[in-house]
Amino acid sequence: MTSKRFKNPRAEHGYQGRPCSILSVGSYVPERIMTNAELEKLVDTSDDWITTRTGIKERRIAADNEFTSDMAAMAARRAMDAGKITADQIDLIIVATITPDMLFPSTACLVQHKIGARRAAAFDVEAACSGFIYALEIGQQFITSRTYDTVLIIGAEKLSSIVDWKDRNTCVLFGDGAGAAILQSLPNSHGLLTACMGADGEKSELLYMPGGGSMCPASANSVAAGLHFLRMDGKETFKNAVNAMYTAALEALRRCELKISQIKCVIPHQANRRILEAVGERLGVTKDQVFVNLDRYGNTSAASVAIALDEAVSTGVVKRGDLVLLVVFGAGLTWAAAVIEW
Cite the active site residues.
Answer: 129, 269, 299
Give one word for 328, left, alpha or beta, with left for phi > 0 and alpha for psi -120 to 50: beta
From 53, 203, 228, 282, residue interacting with ligand UT7 (rule: CB under 6 A): 53
Minimum distance between the CB of residue 336 and ligand UT7, rounded to whole angstroms? 13
Cβ atoms within 10 Å of 23's Cβ, excluding its own? 21
Q: Establish if 51 lies at the interface with ligand UT7 (CB under 6 A).
A: no
Backbone angles phi, psi at 42, to 5 degrees: -95, -40
Q: Establish if 237 lies at the interface with ligand UT7 (CB under 6 A).
A: yes
Residues 6+ apart with CB under 8 A from 77: 26, 115
The 3-state secondary structure of 207-259, one letter per residue? EECCCCCCCCCCCHHHHHCCCCCCEECHHHHHHHHHHHHHHHHHHHHHHHCCC
| 184 within 8 A of 80, measured Cβ to Cβ | no
For residue 328, the Cα-to-chain-centroid distance in whole angstroms is 7
Which of 78/273 has CB closer to ligand UT7? Answer: 273
Cα gap 9→43, rounded to integer Å: 49
From 168, 228, 282, 296, residue interacting with ligand UT7 (rule: CB under 6 A): 168
Which of 175/330 has CB closer to ligand UT7? Answer: 330
Cβ atoms within 10 Å of 188's Cβ, excluding its own? 10
Q: Name the β-bridge partners of 24.
A: 182
Side chain identity, residue 80: M
Which of 112/299 has CB closer to ligand UT7? Answer: 299
From 238, 291, 297, 335, residue interacting with ligand UT7 (rule: CB under 6 A): 238
The site string for ligand UT7 over 322-341 (x = CB under 6 A, - otherwise) reads -------xx-----------
The site string for ligand UT7 over 240-279 (x = CB under 6 A, - otherwise) reads -x-----------------------------xx--x----
Backbone angles phi, psi at 31, to 5 degrees: -65, -40
For residue 188, the Cα-to-chain-centroid distance in whole angstroms is 27
Side chain identity, residue 330: G
Q: CA–CA distance from 173 to each of 151, 265, 271, 299 (Å)?
A: 31, 24, 8, 6
Minimum distance between the CB of residue 333 and ligand UT7, rounded to whole angstroms? 9
Which of 46/189 has CB closer to ligand UT7? Answer: 46
Minimum distance between the CB of residue 47 and ligand UT7, rounded to whole angstroms? 10
- Provide the 8-state DSSP code for 55: -
Size of the site for ligand UT7 (CB under 6 A): 21
Which of 31/44 has CB closer to ligand UT7? Answer: 44
Minimum distance between the CB of residue 185 and ligand UT7, rounded to whole angstroms? 32
Measured from each CB, the residue nearest to ligand UT7 is: 234
Minimum distance between the CB of residue 159 and ligand UT7, rounded to whole angstroms? 10
Cα gap 240→245, rounded to integer Å: 8
Minimum distance between the CB of residue 331 and ligand UT7, rounded to whole angstroms? 6
Q: Which stretch binds ligand UT7 (CB under 6 A): 47-55, 133-141, 220-228, 276-284?
A: 47-55
Q: Which stretch binds ligand UT7 (CB under 6 A): 10-18, 102-110, 166-174, 211-219?
A: 166-174
| 155 within 8 A of 128, measured Cβ to Cβ | no
Minimum distance between the CB of residue 279 and ligand UT7, rounded to whole angstroms? 11
- List binders of ligand UT7 among 92-111 (CB under 6 A): none
Q: Which stretch binds ligand UT7 (CB under 6 A): 13-21, 69-77, 214-222, 236-244?
A: 236-244
First to last CA, the chain: 14
Q: Which residues bind ligand UT7 (CB under 6 A)?
A: 45, 49-50, 53-54, 129, 168-169, 172, 207, 234-235, 237-238, 241, 271-272, 275, 299, 329-330
